[in-house]
Amino acid sequence: MRVFVFLISILIASAAMATEEPKYVLLEKSKPFELRAYAPRIVAEIKVDGDLDAASNQGFRLIAAYIFGKNQVSEKIAMTAPVGIESGDQSKSAKIAMTAPVTIEGPKSRDKSNQNQWTVSFVMPAEYTLNTLPKPLDSQVKIREVPSERRAVITFSGFYNEDKVQEKTQALQDWIKARNMKSIGEPQFARYNPPWTLPFMRRNEVMIQVLE
């Protein structure tokens, strides 16, 4: 499992300059904080159990399998770069370009039985619509459209763990409150780099949706 994640991480790193990220307009910046207006986007997501690191790795592996071919191809898909086609003995599969970041959202329920469940998601390339995106073969992987929204964001480097993410989340919540903005939804943790990236080169973010 770790070897699989590592190999995919190398593929991501080798194409880092061309990696597509969700489109947004920067509305305000006060380092390390930003206020962004995100365009609508489509995400593939999966719910996984475990601590933050384990859930991140497991969710990454399962959605990466979908992106790298574990899906059903629709006749409507335009196979142009960076999208390719891979044919197998039993079915045809489409390879979907990787995008950044991988986002991880904590449990929405306050039920203690769900406190270790996380939602891990990848943003799909902008060229796709819900109709043209290939359907996952793994029923755990869900596809949905996220409408336009504003998000307050804090960026930080280095290694992460649940305590550090919570610390950054609290700092972001304080920044939101100081600007008289109202937060909605659950905080999301976003990581942009493969696991072996040097700490000072890592880009991590905590995002919280706010009312417009």
C-alpha distance from residue 128 to each of 85, 111, 148, 149 (Å):
15, 36, 16, 19
Query: Is 70 exceeded by the pLDDT of residue 34?
Result: yes
Q: What is the pLDDT of residue 76?
A: 29
The torsion angle over the Cα atoms of residues 80, 83, 84 and 88, rounded to 10 degrees, is -130
pLDDT category at 77 given cuts 50, 70, 90 is very low
* Beta-ladder partners of 191: 102, 204
The burial of 211, by beta-carbon neighbours within 10 Å (0-12 exposed, 13-18 middle, 19 or more buried), is given as: exposed
Please tell me which residue, 100 or 132, carries the higher pLDDT value.
Answer: 132
Three-state SS for 133?
Answer: coil
Q: What is the pLDDT of residue 212?
A: 80
Please tell me which residue, 193 or 37, carries the higher pLDDT value.
Answer: 37
Query: Is 50 exceeded by the pLDDT of residue 63?
Result: yes
Query: Is 90 exceeded by the pLDDT of residue 24?
Result: yes
Please tell me which residue, 22 or 4, carries the higher pLDDT value.
Answer: 22
Query: Is 60 exceeded by the pLDDT of residue 15?
Result: no
Query: And the tokens for 174?
Result: 């304080």
* Beta-ladder partners of 155: 205
Nearest CA-CA partner of 45 in 32, 29, 58: 58
Query: Is 50 exceeded by the pLDDT of residue 85?
Result: no
Q: What is the pLDDT of residue 115?
A: 56
Region of residue 173 (phi > 0: left; psi between -120 and 50: alpha; otherwise: beta): alpha
d(CA 22, CA 188): 14
Three-state SS for 144?
Answer: strand
Please tell me which residue, 28 or 53, carries the higher pLDDT value.
Answer: 28
Q: Report the interhelical angle of 2-14 vs 52-67 (nearest 10°).
A: 70
Please tell me which residue, 57 or 177, carries the higher pLDDT value.
Answer: 177
Three-state SS for 154?
Answer: strand
Global pTM? 0.74
Contacts of 158 (CB under 8 A, 6+ apart): 164, 199, 200, 202, 204
Contacts of 171 (CB under 8 A, 6+ apart): 154
